[in-house]
Homo-oligomer: A and B are copies of this chain.
Amino acid sequence: MRTSIATVSLGGSLTEKLTAAARAGFDGVEIFENDLLAGPLTPEEIRARCADLGLTIDLYQPMRDIEAVPEAEFARNLRRARHKFELMRRLGTDTVLVCSSVSPLAEDDDALAAAQLSQLADLAQEFGVRVAYEALAWGRHVSTYDHAWRIVETAGHPALGTCLDSFHILSRGSDPKGIADIPGEKIFFLQLADAPPLAMDVLQWSRHYRCFPGQGGFDVAGLLRHVLSAGYDGPLSLEVFNDVFRQADAGPTAIDAHRSLLVLQETVGLARPPAPVVPTGIAFAELVTPDAEPVSALLGALGFARTARHRGKPVDLWQQGEARILVNTGPAVRRDGTALAAIGLESPDPEGAARRAEALLAPVLPRRRTPEDARLDAVAAPDGTELFFCAPTTPQHPGWRADFTDTPGRLPPGTGVLRIDHLALTQPWHQFDEAALFHRSVLGLHAQESVDVADPYGLLRSRAVTTPDGSVRIALSVGPAPTEDGAHAQHIALAVEDVVAAVRRFREAGGRMLRIPANHYDDLAARFDLAEGELETYQDLGILYDRDAGGEFRHCYTRTVGRVFFELVQRDGDYRGYGAPNAPVRLAAQHTAKRLTGG
């Protein structure tokens, strides 16, 4: 179906919004009145701009406080409406949104509302305009979709229909089932928005916290199914008021928005993008660094061996168990120190995975390879991390591994690292919801609950996206307003069988773990009845401990190199978390370490 977006959903000038909507692939826009009023373009210029961009103008909105008012007031309202219909003619759009009144003058009189809306529709018809009447969730007398529909039905005017808005319907807990009983041709417009489950004043919730379908907690797809079975065939249009999106660049937000509509259409069977290909493991994590020495020293102490080197690029492969880390000293895009730049995802169908990513608007990365190199499909995640889709490597089909030449030599004993347990990526502050939707829809991962974590300098929010079996786990987090150096830490967590043994070997190799304050161990002593001597060992080695109903978690952290540090984790039983209760301790310890080293 045709897709559309209200200009209020995006940040920037009207020109920037229209350009972003067109580039992201929307077919049309709703012009939000304030965006027109505040901008320098005349209605004719906006119309021409949209035509140039291939956008239709599907709706002009909103017209407020029209109906069920005393006669003199209604006369003023009709005068106002005439001006706006004239404007719409210049703009070249034929549908106007009328919200149910919040005016103290409005009377609780459906017959009066229907009669006045009918008069409004008479006037609209003169201008070739249709009126779409919508119940605001906080409307004075009309606040539910079925009530708005009853008034429209009573009016029985061909130029008067209803507009449905998923936020207004679902935020009130209305049952959307009744939508299917509205004749499809009387649903003049459909606005879609999701929202996080917040128990708060519905007006504030609507004005500041709406998000794109799939980013929140509403069953937007369920609602859409009812609208479709009613026979609606107009555009699917996003109307999202969100404080963060207002401040973000319109371009990425529009892409995020359009992706959410594509996924929604897939969910209800309106679109069939290539099926998701769930990754089966992490093939590698790639660090870029201007100076390989500090990272190499750290990897060496962690028991990794430099096992191979890329045939044509300055990229080393470090390996231990199934954990593979590439260290790239080539001319990477990012020159701001050591960073986690790319993730190789093992995929049963790399080309299929890339096709889905591309269909869902992930930027496809140019292949930086020589003709001999293995084909590697790659896309960019919203935070810029490169995601490579890799076939599993086997001796018969070495895949990406064939681009590397083995380095001769005996393997060091290692520290018992088994595989990469998870990767932690800090997101730009305005892309947290976008990132979760991306990983869920493009990669087919499951998004877990968000958790708040107290950092000494502000709250962090963290959310993991994983495969059901835990073979791929990515922890996304977003921090307080960026610090002066702007760089947020990323980390690679390595699974070990015995973290105590691993840290001891790391130490013998000259490594130093992040120092954890003694107070943490006092607290563990208070909370858990651990074996004699266990806590002393953990304290000595800098190991943190957590336990939940499923099992136990022991973990510790290396010092940070550039933006990157490593974590060693030992999971026992069915512990599926990430040691969130210990995160404030770790963050504070990292701040302390930074102060001590002046870094």
A519 at the interface (CB under 8 A from B): yes
Residues of B with C-beta under 8 A to A247: 457-458, 480-481
Interface members, chain A 22-47 (any B CB < 8 Å):
33-34, 36-43
Copies of this chain assembled into the complex: 2
Q: A198-B201, A246-B454, A458-B246 are in contact. Are A80 and B526 (CB under 8 A)?
A: yes
Of B40, B198, B526, which contacts A84 at CB under 8 A? B526
Residues of B with C-beta under 8 A to A34: 454, 584
A40/B517 in contact, CB under 8 A: yes
B201/A199 in contact, CB under 8 A: yes
Residues of B with C-beta under 8 A to A585: 37-38
Q: Chain B interface: which of A285-293, A410-418, A586-594?
A: A586-594
Residue of B nearest to A596 (CB): B40
Min CB distance A463 to B, Å, is: 17
A38/B458 in contact, CB under 8 A: no
Min CB distance A5 to B, Å, is: 16
Q: Map CB proximity to B onto A1-22 as digits: 1 under 8 Å, 0 otherwise.
A: 0000000000111000000000
Residues of B with C-beta under 8 A to A11: 456-458
B456/A37 in contact, CB under 8 A: no
B523/A37 in contact, CB under 8 A: yes
CA distance A585 to B40 in the complex (A): 10
A588/B38 in contact, CB under 8 A: yes
Residue of B nearest to A519 (CB): B37
A243 at the interface (CB under 8 A from B): yes
Q: A247-B480, A456-B12, A459-B243 are in contact. Are A39 and B588 (CB under 8 A)?
A: yes
A457/B246 in contact, CB under 8 A: yes
A451 at the interface (CB under 8 A from B): no
A531 at the interface (CB under 8 A from B): no
Q: A201-B199, A457-B12, A457-B247 are in contact. Are A587 and B83 (CB under 8 A)?
A: no
Of B83, B458, B591, which contacts A13 at CB under 8 A? B591
Residue of B nearest to A480 (CB): B247
A–B pairs, 20, beta carbons within 8 Å:
A11-B456, A12-B456, A37-B517, A38-B517, A38-B519, A39-B588, A43-B519, A79-B526, A79-B529, A82-B526, A83-B522, A84-B526, A87-B526, A198-B204, A199-B201, A246-B454, A246-B457, A247-B457, A247-B458, A247-B480
A310 at the interface (CB under 8 A from B): no
Given A11-B458, A42-B518, 7 new contacts (CB under 8 A): A12-B457, A33-B523, A37-B523, A38-B517, A38-B588, A198-B201, A200-B204
* Nearest 3 CB-CB pairings of A with B: A200-B200, A83-B526, A38-B588
A505 at the interface (CB under 8 A from B): no
Of B82, B246, B459, B591, which contacts A246 at CB under 8 A? B459
Assign chain A's interface to a size class: 35 or more
CA distance A36 to B458 in the complex (A): 16
CA distance A36 to B518 in the complex (A): 10
Residues of B with C-beta under 8 A to A519: 36-39, 42-43
Min CB distance A233 to B, Å, is: 32
Residue of B nearest to A201 (CB): B199
Residues of B with C-beta under 8 A to A457: 11-12, 246-247
A368 at the interface (CB under 8 A from B): no
Residues of B with C-beta under 8 A to A517: 37-41
CA distance A2 to B480 in the complex (A): 33
Residues of B with C-beta under 8 A to A527: 80
CA distance A206 to B592 in the complex (A): 29
Residues of B with C-beta under 8 A to A487: none
Min CB distance A304 to B, Å, is: 30
A501 at the interface (CB under 8 A from B): no
Min CB distance A326 to B, Å, is: 34
Residues of B with C-beta under 8 A to A584: 34, 37-38
Residues of B with C-beta under 8 A to A208: 459
Residues of B with C-beta under 8 A to A529: 79
Residues of B with C-beta under 8 A to A452: 207
Min CB distance A156 to B, Å, is: 28
Residue of B nearest to A243 (CB): B459
CA distance A248 to B199 in the complex (A): 27
Residues of B with C-beta under 8 A to A36: 519
